């Protein structure tokens, strides 16, 4: 029997269910039957272009869906709507019992990735291993940073430091300068430190997960990404998006079971499978409103099937961050700007910025000028703004002064920098906001 006939048969069987079992019809007909495999392109009217592999997937899913529809019709009690609501049961078949074997699901993931993957500058062609250095840099940048924000920074960084050796030979200031605006600057410092260690050991990456984990500054997620994408080791690269997707796909509640469930799907191209999970998790299986109808894994997803094809999670209330107050001092003279290099440790460590008061005040107070600035006679307030860090919001007052000449200050961390040379100094977004006024 052809897929068209099978589709028609199952739809007819579903439509013949007793009218009081509308829940079963809504759960298992319509979208679930017409979007087995392709991203919105498979329908009852156009199944003739299916490949043999896609036809097998359709046939397997039809059997699974029909069985579930029959169970739903049998198990939903008759009676008033309130009784039907109480009688609804979640039907889920373990993947071990499912007629869709792991190798079939793995093939779906790889096929989808080959056709629909996001085209990103750090990715290699499907089925090929990637450069471990490229994986390392991109995955480090993507931590706490969106893909769209990361792309231009990645391209500039790789243009400046195309190899481990080039990065290892760079100065911290050069690395921080390219990183400015990307945030979480400790990542840049760790990249440089690790590159120097790799270069001292011959400039080559370890080729196994266990050896990658021995490198300082490379955590488990980054190590699994490198091991799978660059060296073909069958390990799951599990970030937040992938964790959420796999928990829903298999209707799991215990995250410690994820690796065991996914392990059969990682062969023979674990890098492609991992990146398929990443893309589907980011594009469709979002945290608070999943796009189940468009998701290529919807026919396989137990959580989607248990929730009538739609997964809704209320967004948690945003945690109120404490507000701190600080004053920045914007001082110019003779075409130069007074900058302060911040201490190497701590927030924005090692970067340049305007001289400031302490950032620990939780109440707005009168300005306490640093001793070196108390003799400046005239100040103007040039700006007020707020800037959000991970754990607090900083409310900033900017005071501006113009001096006749670049006087020396008794602060070794303060330097005069010509405005024309500011691009050579790592100046975070926070201080660039202050300079814009």
- Residue 364 tokens read as 């707005």
Residues 134, 210 within the same domain: yes
Residue 318 lies in a domain: no
Helix axes 132-142, 186-200, angle to 10 degrees: 160
Q: Are 65 and 93 in contact (CB under 8 A)?
A: no
Distance, in Å, from the CA atom of 275 to the CA atom of 286, rounded to the nearest integer, reads: 16
Sequence-ordered list of residues with C-beta below 8 angstroms from that of 251, at least 6 positions apart, any chain: 92, 302, 303, 306
Residue 365 clears pLDDT 70, i.e. is over it = yes
Residues 276, 391 within the same domain: no
When divided into structural domains, the chain yields a total of: 3
- Residue 137 tokens read as 């840099």
Residues 112, 258 within the same domain: yes
User: What does the pLDDT look like over 152-183, one tens digit per residue?
Assistant: 999 999 999 999 999 999 999 899 999 988 88
Any idea which residues carry the catalytic annotation? Answer: 139
User: What does the pLDDT look like over 258-314, one tens digit per residue?
Assistant: 999 999 999 899 999 999 999 999 999 988 778 888 999 988 888 888 775 455 555
Q: Tokens 């039957």 correspond to what residue?
A: 33
311 burial type by CB count under 10 A (0-12 exposed, 13-18 middle, 19+ buried) = buried
CA angle 53, 275, 116 (to 5 degrees): 55
In the chain, how long is the greatest CA-to-CA distance? Answer: 92
Residues 274, 371 within the same domain: no
Average pLDDT in the 73-78 region?
42
Name the CA radius of gyration of the chain, rounded: 29
Residues 82, 108 within the same domain: no
Average pLDDT in the 59-65 region?
50
Q: Tokens 């509308």 correspond to what residue?
A: 22
Kindly list the distances between the CA atom of residue 395 and the CA atoms of 56, 167, 182, 347, 401, in Å, as whole numbers in the listed order: 60, 36, 20, 16, 20
Q: What is the pLDDT of residue 410?
A: 83
- Residue 302 tokens read as 């137990």
pTM metric for this prediction:
0.69
Residue 314 lies in a domain: no
Residues 164, 279 within the same domain: yes
The domain in which residue 417 lies consists of: 323-436
Residues 288, 332 within the same domain: no
């Amino acid at each position: 029997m052809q897929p068209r006939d099978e589709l028609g048969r199952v739809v007819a069987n579903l439509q013949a269910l007793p009218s009081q079992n509308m829940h079963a019809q809504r759960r298992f007909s319509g979208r679930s039957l017409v979007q087995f495999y392709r991203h919105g392109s498979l329908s009852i009217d156009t199944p003739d272009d299916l490949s043999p592999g896609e036809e097998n997937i359709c046939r397997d899913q039809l059997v699974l869906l029909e069985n579930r529809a029959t169970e739903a019709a049998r198990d939903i009690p008759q009676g008033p709507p309130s009784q039907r609501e109480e009688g609804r049961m979640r039907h889920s078949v373990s993947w071990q019992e499912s007629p869709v074997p792991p190798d079939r699901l793995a093939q779906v993931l790889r096929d989808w990735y080959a056709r629909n993957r996001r085209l990103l500058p750090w990715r290699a062609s499907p089925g090929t291993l990637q450069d471990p250095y490229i994986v390392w840099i991109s995955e480090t940048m993507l931590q706490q940073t969106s893909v769209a924000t990361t792309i231009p920074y990645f391209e500039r960084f790789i243009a400046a430091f195309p190899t481990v050796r080039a990065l290892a030979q760079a100065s911290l200031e050069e690395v921080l300068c390219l990183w400015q605006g990307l945030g979480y600057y400790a990542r840049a410092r760790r990249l440089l430190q690790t590159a120097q260690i790799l270069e001292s050991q011959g400039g080559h990456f370890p080729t196994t997960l266990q050896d990658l984990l021995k490198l300082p500054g490379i955590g488990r997620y980054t190590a699994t990404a490198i091991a799978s994408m660059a060296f073909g080791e069958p390990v799951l690269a599990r970030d937040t998006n992938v964790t959420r997707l796999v928990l829903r796909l298999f209707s799991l509640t215990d995250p410690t079971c994820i690796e065991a469930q996914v392990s059969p799907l990682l062969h023979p191209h674990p890098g492609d499978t991992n990146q398929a999970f990443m893309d589907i998790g980011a594009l469709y299986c979002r945290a608070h409103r999943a796009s189940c109808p468009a998701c290529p894994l919807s026919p396989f997803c137990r959580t989607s099937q248990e929730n009538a094809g739609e997964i809704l999670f209320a967004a948690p209330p945003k945690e109120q961050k404490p507000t701190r107050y600080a004053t920045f001092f914007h001082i110019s003279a003779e075409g130069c700007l007074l900058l302060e290099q911040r201490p190497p440790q701590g927030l924005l460590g090692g970067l340049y910025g305007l001289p400031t008061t302490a950032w620990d005040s939780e109440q707005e107070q009168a300005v306490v000028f640093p001793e070196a600035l108390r003799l400046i006679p005239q100040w103007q307030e040039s700006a007020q703004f707020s800037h959000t860090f991970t754990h607090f919001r900083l409310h900033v007052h900017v005071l501006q002064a113009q001096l006749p000449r670049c006087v020396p200050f008794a602060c070794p961390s303060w330097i005069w920098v010509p405005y024309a040379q500011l691009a050579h100094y790592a100046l975070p977004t926070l201080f660039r906001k202050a300079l814009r006024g």
